[in-house]
Structure 1
Amino acid sequence: MWTSASRTPRPSRPPDGRPAPETALRQHLTRWTIDPGADNPVSVRRLSETVCEYPRMDERRAGLPYRYGYVAALGGPGTGDLLHRAIGRHDHATGEMKLWRAPEHHAVSEPVFAAKPGSSEEGVGYLLATVFDARRNRSHLAVLDAMDLEAGPIARAHLDHRVPAGFHGSFVAAA
């Protein structure tokens, strides 16, 4: 069994009370493999050099092997920019990380996967993320094609206010 998570090289508040160096706070997508029958039951391996947080997946694959993972990238702790500036799709089969970079002065939230209606194929659907425009002090919901992430949003729903950074969400299809 394996799962992916974001991992820092050191805790931000280590037991000795000394703060970690700023660069030690950078998070990277990491695979944790758990094999209770092995001599070394837990192994850890970095999957990408892209700094990222908030890994998500196609929730229909929860508890099953999956190929695609989605992250907020290019920013966050340890980078000198607390906000994330891109959405990423990591392909666990090839190791490739595809990115959509938000425009200048924009920051992105954690991406949420929404399956395309009628499709059961993993990764066929949309990524939903709030995008904050610092110049306007407003946010919008960006809808990206999960299989063609680099093309950018295919739709936007503009809000008349800011959605706070760190907003987490889920998607549930209407019945």
Structure 2
Amino acid sequence: MVRSEVYNRSMAEGKISAFSMMGKPEPLFDLWEHTMMVLGGVEYSDNTNIAVWDVDKGHSLTLTTESFNMHQVAPDTLTYNRPWKPPGADEIPLFSAAHFSRHPTSGKSYNYVAKLKWKLWGPEARFDFYEYSSSPGGQITDRKVGSIPTALDDIRIIHAFSITENYLVIPRWNYKFDFTFDLSMMKKLAYMCEAFKFEYNKPTYVDIINIKTGIRVQFTLPIQKGVHGMNSFERINSQGQLEIVMDFPTLTDPTALDLNKHCLFDIFNIPILTDPNYLYENIPWDTTLRRFIFNMHTSAHTIEDFPQSWRTKDSAIEFPFINPNYNGKDYCFAYFQQWHFRTEDMDLMKYDLCTKKAITWHEDNKHVSEPVFVPKPGGEAEDDGVIVAQVYDSATEKSELCVWNAKKLELIARYDNKVQVPYTVHGSWYDE
């Protein structure tokens, strides 16, 4: 993977390697090269790496973006194995979620494929959701769980969704793809930010699909902007009614700035990334941790905001991670990257949803990637464990792996990476 022409060219020019799905990369590639990155060829597959997932019980690691073309690498050496098109990516596939979801008890993986299907009267669009299982030999099979039909002019991007014991919880935030069937189609497929727009004239939708029956219930919300979810779980309220709870870091006010002024992924391009004034003044950062409660009996919903008890408040709170043993269950603690757009520092933050208090770890010039919670074997408390994250030092241009106590965010170990690992976002942990 890291020997491809895309990677070598980016590194030779000292630029950030391109995302395969979004924006105009640094350095700029021509239309054909970028189209190949989207469609997925081995030589252009470097950047199919927004997230890493174990679909086939340790036989390989699957590297994903929104592209339905994914790639698998050997788990021990990270050498390239083969491309992988998820079962279900038939008809005319458009994209998938960059993040699989894992069932809290069965361990099965879930994702979707957005598709077009041609009818006599023209194309129809829908999201088909699949459950992926693996045999001991690594053979992956799929089962269609349910579908969400959508209008051609309102195909939302579902970057990630969550799962409870019995339901898929699918937020369709207001970012959508504008697929107009004309001569601009090829360019939009290559530079998808050309088609990536925030929809101000329609509400946000949350669809909840029963995993067993495929029955879907849709809720309509005021305009919201979120990306990565904290957790979802089921509970019974005081009236004996089933509620689905979904927690997300969201933009406090999506109308404060024009979200169509810049592509969402522009912030990863030079020189924007290195200009904090530009980021602070042009990129929305004000975050609210928000709880959405959906009553499956009455079809009503409520929204609750957690207080912004962190300092400083002029920062983006994102990339949430919780104790994986609490996925799909009621919980208290979530861990985040806290990005200060004024200083470019990226801190580690812990938020207690039960006491509504936050604590933060900070060092000047440090940039913490997505924090990963590793549970303590035999631990009893929810925050018994450690936080592991990649930390880049922009002053020394060195990087290290850091380990914190998950209770108080006390730094307990640092490991020199020996090689420079630049700022990255997502992280994963896999037991041996």
TM-score of the alignment, normalized to the shorter chain, above 0.5: yes
Contact 1:84 1:109 in 2 (8 A): no
Q: 1:33 to 1:7 in 2, by over 3 A?
A: same
1:113 aligns to 2:379 (yes or no): no
Distance 1:121 1:172 in 2: 21
Show CA shifts across 1:65-120 (max 9, x none): 01111111142xxx345x4521111111100111111x211111111000112224
More helix by share: 2
Structure 2 counterparts to residues 118-133 of structure 1, below 5 A? 118-133=378-393
Distance 2:384 2:325 in 1: 11
Contact 1:68 1:92 in 2 (8 A): yes
- Indicate which of 355, 374, 384 corresponds to 1:94: 355
How many aligned residue pairs are there?
164
**Residue 158 of structure 1 aligns with which residue?**
416
More strand by share: 1
- Give SS of 2:306's match: strand
Distance 2:306 2:298 in 1: 22
1:173 aligns to 2:416 (yes or no): no
1:7 aligns to 2:250 (yes or no): yes
Of the two structures, which has the highest relative contact order with CA contacts closer than 8 Å and spacing of 6 or more? 1
Distance 2:388 2:419 in 1: 18
Distance 1:36 1:164 in 2: 45
- Indicate which of 287, 297, 309 corresponds to 1:27: 287
**Residue 306 of structure 2 aligns with which residue?**
47
- Give SS of 2:360's match: strand
Structure 1 gap segments, 5+ residues each: none
1:145 aligns to 2:405 (yes or no): yes
Distance 1:139 1:130 in 2: 7
Distance 1:156 1:166 in 2: 18
Structure 2 gap segments, 5+ residues each: 1-243, 263-280
Show CA shifts across 1:38-80 (max 9, x none): 4532x333324244111111011111101111111142xxx34
Show CA shifts across 1:4-56 (max 9, x none): 22111217764xx456x737443332222222334532x33332424411111
Instruction: Tell me the TM-score normalised to structure 2 length.
Output: 0.35
Larger radius of gyration: 2
- Indicate which of 60, 73, 95 corresponds to 2:325: 60
Distance 1:86 1:35 in 2: 36
Query: Moved runs in structure 1, 4+ residues, more than 3 A?
Result: 11-14, 21-25
Which residue type is aligned with residue 369 of structure 2?
S
Q: 1:100 to 1:142 in 2, by over 3 A?
A: same
Q: 1:164 to 1:13 in 2, by over 3 A?
A: farther
Q: 1:7 to 1:90 in 2, by over 3 A?
A: same
Distance 2:386 2:339 in 1: 20
Distance 1:172 1:18 in 2: 39
Which residue type is aligned with residue 121 of structure 1?
A
